């Protein structure tokens, strides 16, 4: 007897996609509808050829009437008995799930159904669950994602295998092919009343949109399947490249991840986007919750130059924190690190105290700002020799005139501050910062040293006043003090 062409296509698809291995225990998600009934009969018929164990799972979502559920279960039980397939029945409360998660009833039912599936897999010791998704389902999913603003990566349709445990052996067939097979073999099935409710998005697309498209474009299913296969292959390539990139650029430790912003900016945006999704998954979050708009905002935050900042990814659950190391020599940015962390960092207190700090002759003063460690020493000139024991390594040594009055005051730049220049003029410190290209966010961390008369001695280690330069030119006799300034960068 010649084998049914539909069964031949089924066997070829299963083997080509390597969906089933000898010895597998397979749980068939069966609603009693046409698609899952078809799948149940096929797997039951060919289980000796595959060398597998088969059972059926029915999930009651708690949405429809008791009478409809009763009739559906009754028919399914009869079929399972005839096929000698064990039947497992589970019940979920989709309405409660929707209320708790604030999702649509359609989404809640989907979430609850897969929760029941994975629970049954573990309880029954099944390796795989088979679902009855076919070409129409995959096309509908792609259309839904297009209409709802999905990214290109979401256009690959339904995959034949999900998470290594969910298989879709009917993805080779259209809905009409499935129904024709059932009709030829006189196999009864149930009809879910909710499948006709066009308030549900998928039903609207199935009932209203797809028939019109098929009427105008008869080859629609095959063409969209080709698109999905191409997109799936390209997705796999980009995902693989993104994982390689993340492996080189991202550091994962203790529930958080960090990476160099410059390396991230240098990567193609498609790679960067997928690397972020990969990192979210590694940190235990669902990448699907990071929509295209949120991803775009995250990438803008990361790539918007150096500086500091916090971006909240998920409400009080995960943050992007941007930190920059600035050069201790010229205060320009050296490296920006981005950290994905569940802990919102505290304010680092970047500014110097408004009232300033003081340092007297013979004293040393060490203090920190948000990005720097400073070490100051003030030494009196003894005329011939200097006692340099307290001078920090790699520090700048600045001459101070004998007429200067200690103690000196160390503070951030004040409004209107000017520093004396060699030509007899002066320069606003605000202009100095602009000319030196010192980022605005760290200007309040740069110490300005002045004597008790208010004369500016220097602006940290980047600008010495002519007031001090003249003393240095005059030699030891004109120098009253030596100011040592050591600076270290910190993250």
Residue-wise pLDDT tens digits, 273-305:
999 999 999 999 988 788 788 889 999 999 988
Q: What is the dihedral of CA 238, 242, 248, 253, to 10 degrees?
A: -160
Q: What percent of the chain has pLDDT over 70?
A: 96
How far is C-alpha 168 from the chain's CA centre? 28
What pLDDT sits at residue 62?
86
What pLDDT sits at residue 349?
64
The residues near 169 (Cβ < 8 Å, ≥ 6 apart) are 10, 13, 14, 19, 20, 39, 42, 43, 130, 160
Q: What is the dihedral of CA 299, 302, 305, 308, to 10 degrees?
A: 140
The total of other beta-carbon atoms located within 10 Å of residue 457's CB is 25
Q: Considering Cα of 86, then 89, then 90, then 94, what sign does the dihedral take? A: positive
9-35 pLDDT tens trace = 999 999 999 999 999 999 999 999 999
Q: What is the mean pLDDT of the chain?
A: 89
List the structure tokens of 360: 């007297």
User: What size, in residues, is the chain?
Assistant: 491
CB neighbour burial string for 183-219, b if at least 16 within 10 angstroms, e if fewer: eeeeeebbebeeeeeeebbbbbbbeeebeeebeeeee
Please give the average per-residue pLDDT across 92-120, as a whole number.
88
Does position 199 have pLDDT exceeding 90, yes or no?
A: no
Residue for token pair 């089933």: 20
330-344 pLDDT tens trace = 999 999 999 999 988
> Which domains are delineated in the chain?
5-218 (3.40.50.620), 233-341 (3.30.465), 357-489 (no CATH)
Q: Cα angle at 66 between 63 and 72, to 5 degrees?
A: 90
On the question of a cis peptide bond just before residue 407, with omega within 30 degrees of 0, the verdict is yes
Higher pLDDT pick, 198 / 120: 120
What pLDDT sits at residue 238?
93
What pLDDT sits at residue 426?
93
The total of other beta-carbon atoms located within 10 Å of residue 296's CB is 13
353-381 pLDDT tens trace = 778 899 999 999 999 998 999 999 998 88
Higher pLDDT pick, 43 / 109: 43
Q: Minimum mean pLDDT among 60-64, 226-230, 342-346, 386-390: which range?
A: 386-390
Please give the average per-residue pLDDT across 252-275, as a whole number.
94
Please give the average per-residue pLDDT across 29-50, as a whole number.
95
Rounded to an integer, what distance in angstroms lies between the CA atom of residue 277 and that of residue 287?
A: 5
Please give the average per-residue pLDDT across 75-96, as a whole number.
94
Summary count for the chain: helices (H), strands (E)? 15, 22
What pLDDT sits at residue 387?
47
What pLDDT sits at residue 56?
96
What pLDDT sits at residue 391?
47
The residues near 72 (Cβ < 8 Å, ≥ 6 apart) are 31, 32, 58, 190, 192
């Amino acid at each position: 007897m010649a084998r049914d062409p539909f069964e031949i296509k089924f066997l070829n698809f299963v083997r080509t996609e390597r969906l089933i291995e000898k010895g597998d225990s397979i749980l068939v998600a069966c609603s009693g509808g046409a698609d899952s009934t078809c799948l149940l009969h096929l797997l039951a018929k060919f289980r000796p050829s595959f060398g597998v164990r088969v059972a059926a799972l029915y999930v009651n979502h708690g949405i429809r009437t008791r009478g409809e559920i009763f009739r559906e279960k009754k028919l399914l039980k009869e079929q399972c008995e005839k096929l000698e397939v064990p039947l497992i029945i589970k019940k979920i409360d989709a309405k409660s799930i929707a209320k708790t998660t604030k999702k649509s009833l359609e989404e809640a039912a989907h979430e609850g159904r897969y929760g029941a599936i994975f629970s049954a897999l573990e309880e029954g010791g099944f390796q795989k669950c088979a679902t009855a998704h076919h070409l129409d389902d995959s096309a509908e999913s792609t259309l839904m994602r297009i209409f709802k603003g999905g990214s290109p990566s979401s256009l690959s349709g339904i995959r034949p295998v999900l998470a290594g445990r969910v298989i879709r052996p009917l993805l080779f067939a259209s809905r009409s092919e499935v129904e024709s097979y059932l009709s030829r073999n006189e196999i009864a099935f149930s009809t879910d009343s909710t499948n006709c409710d066009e308030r549900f998005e998928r039903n609207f697309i199935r009932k209203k949109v797809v028939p019109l498209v098929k009427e105008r474009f008869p080859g629609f299913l095959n063409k969209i399947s080709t698109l999905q296969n191409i997109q799936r292959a390209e997705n796999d390539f980009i995902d693989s490249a993104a994982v390689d990139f993340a492996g080189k650029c991202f550091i994962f430790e203790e529930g958080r991840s960090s990476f160099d912003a410059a390396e991230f900016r240098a990567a193609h945006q498609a790679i960067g986007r997928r690397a972020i999704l990969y990192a979210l998954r590694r940190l235990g979050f669902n990448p699907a919750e990071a929509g295209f708009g949120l991803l775009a905002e995250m990438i803008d935050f990361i790539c918007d130059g150096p500086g500091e900042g916090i971006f909240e990814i998920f409400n009080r659950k995960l943050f992007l924190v941007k930190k920059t190391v600035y050069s201790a020599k010229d205060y320009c940015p050296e490296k920006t690190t981005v950290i994905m962390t569940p802990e919102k960092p505290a304010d680092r207190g970047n500014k110097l105290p408004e009232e300033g700090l003081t340092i007297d002759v013979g004293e040393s003063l060490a203090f920190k700002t948000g990005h720097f460690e400073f070490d100051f020493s003030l030494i009196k000139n003894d005329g011939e020799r200097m006692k340099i024991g307290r001078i920090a390594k790699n520090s700048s040594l600045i001459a101070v005139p004998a007429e200067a009055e200690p103690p000196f005051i160390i503070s951030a730049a004040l409004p209107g501050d000017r520093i004396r220049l060699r030509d007899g003029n002066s320069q606003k410190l605000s202009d100095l910062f602009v000319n030196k290209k010192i980022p605005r966010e760290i200007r309040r961390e740069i110490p300005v040293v002045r004597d008790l008369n208010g004369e500016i001695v220097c602006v940290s280690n980047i600008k010495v006043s002519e007031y001090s330069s003249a003393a240095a030119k005059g030699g030891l006799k004109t120098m009253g003090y030596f100011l040592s300034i050591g600076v270290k960068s910190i993250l």
